[in-house]
Chain A
Amino acid sequence: MMHQIILAGFGGQGILSMGHFIAHAALLEGKNVSWLPSYGPEKRGGTANCHVIVGDEEVGSPIISSATVLIAMNQPSLEKFESSVEPGGIIITDKSLVPVKPSRSDVRLYEIPATEMAYELGNPTYAGVVILGKLTALTGIMTEENFEKALKAILKPSRHYMIPDEMKALRQGAEYECS
């Protein structure tokens, strides 16, 4: 199984970090991984995306032409990338910021009010982790334990106080029942 995940949203939402967490945790699970960022002249409020591939086989092209999962953290990202998802693939959106549904009917859609849930946890930057919780529940791409290790490895020590709440966000995302 090769997970081919496109993550997309506004610059500043932590899109590249979300991809980095997945790649790091999956590497700890002994998987082959690649992480490819959009590195155009991006800025806060602009668009950002990254391609993350995780699997047992060697990673061929790091560029995803057919995604198994799309994570869309804003509406322009959903519109731009929904056609890249393979039939039967997964689309996860942040319902707080994406009021519309994809035009595709041959995909599995999960809408989570991630930003609202993150505000309730006390910090809107946890929205991405809420989404990653759902991704993990759906795909088994990483264990909670390895996700926590990834956070510790990637976040600066001055941010480590956030980790308990991040773990809470991950679990809430995993448990959220999509209608």
Chain B
Amino acid sequence: MGEKLLMKGNEVIAEAALRAGCRHYFGYPITPQTEVAHYMSRKMEELGGTFVQAESELAAINMVYGAASAGKRVMTSSSSPGISLKQEGISYSACAELPMVIVDIVRCGPGLGGILPAQCDYFQIVKGGGHGDYNLIVFAPSSVQELYELVVHAFNVADTYRNPVVILGDGYLGQMMEAVEFRDTEPVEHIDKPWATVGTHMKREHNVITSIYIEADVLEAHNNRLQEKYRSIQKNETMVEEYNCEGADVIVTAYGTVARIVKNVIKDAASEGIKVGLIRPVTLWPFPSASFVKYADTPKGFLTVEMSAGQMVEDVRLAVNGRNSVEFYGRTGGNVPEQKVILQKVRDIASRV
């Protein structure tokens, strides 16, 4: 406690998971998140856990399914193309209600794309890259310290709701080093898992973990129960940072590393007499729509900035619901939105009558 260490985002993800009681990690290397697996491979043996570099992403996610079924805290990590390969297993896990933490350190796409940072997988993760009506709980940290805190939180939330949770970061967040303090922001919860398939010891009926329901009414009942759970998550687990929004001339919305560029813009704009607010979703699902409703009429306009061609902006527009204009600025291919361009867009909106 108290000591600040200089660490890479990817290493902090792994260390946070270990501190949260994760003793099982299955993955397959891919830039820019390989340091997660590297760190796990060194530490897991000392701690008596399981580290497997699987033969493929498909194998890795199904190993996660197995460990989660046995009630163990388990994690996998990958980057965009690797996450695409895991989608079948993720959908199965959502249906079987398996708690797990999936880390996606996003690189630029589509296709094999490149290895530079991006936020172009918002749709895939937030809207469901796999099949069926399901939701993942999605956290979007914007600093190395917040990575630590949200990874610990992610394990608790996953167990509480029996639901897969995603840590969504861009390549820069994984690669950068910042100071981190492993302080106890929240206790590592130990949640009973009477549903886990750990043997009956001849004392109870068999537990069954499955994602197949052949009969229509049975599957619909299961879907209804899932939807009820998702409503409860929306009600209780939404996280957002509202910064400088009261009376703002312009409200910018961004998540992850991009939100930090926006914070620089807020200072630049203030020196020109323009008040800029920031709404930074910390959970991308559930999306903090209420913050947008609250401030919908405040600014002269909203601006959404992303390292994508425009994905989260759709949720911002849904939340603002026509009450104000919502503009978009994004860069792709591994390029990062430029501070001076954001500032110019802010000036343009602020100068409206």
Contacts and interface: CB of A to CB of B under 8 A. Distances in A.
A40 interface: yes
22 contacts: A20-B177, A23-B6, A23-B177, A27-B6, A33-B6, A34-B177, A35-B6, A35-B178, A36-B175, A36-B177, A39-B116, A39-B171, A39-B175, A40-B115, A40-B116, A59-B260, A60-B260, A61-B263, A63-B172, A65-B264, A65-B339, A65-B340
A32 B115 contact: no
A103 to B, nearest CB: 21
B338 interface: yes
Contacts of A62: 172, 176, 178, 257, 260
Greatest chain A CB density within 10 A among B32, B116, B179 is at: B179
B22 to A, nearest CB: 25
A24 interface: yes
B179 A33 contact: yes
A24 to B, nearest CB: 5
A21 B190 CA distance: 40
B115 A39 contact: yes
Contacts of B240: none
Q: What's the interface size class on B, roughly?
A: 20 to 34
B179 A63 contact: no
Question: When A and B form their complex, which 8 residue pairs have the shortest distance between CB atoms, in order from nearest?
Answer: A35-B177, A61-B261, A60-B264, A60-B263, A65-B339, A61-B260, A36-B176, A61-B264
Interface in B175-192: 175-179
Interface residues of A, number: 19
A34 B261 CA distance: 14
Given A32-B179, A35-B177, A41 B115 contact: yes
Nearest to A26: B6
B336 interface: yes
A27 B179 contact: yes
Contacts of B175: 36-37, 39
Contacts of A40: 115-116
A27 B340 CA distance: 29
B178 A34 contact: yes
Contacts of B116: 39-40
B323 interface: no
Contacts of B260: 59-62
Contacts of B177: 20, 23, 34-36
A136 B333 CA distance: 36
A27 B264 contact: no
Contacts of A65: 264, 338-340
A35 B176 contact: yes
Interface in B304-353: 336, 338-340
Nearest to B267: A60
A42 to B, nearest CB: 10
Contact of B32 (A32, A33, A39, A60): A39
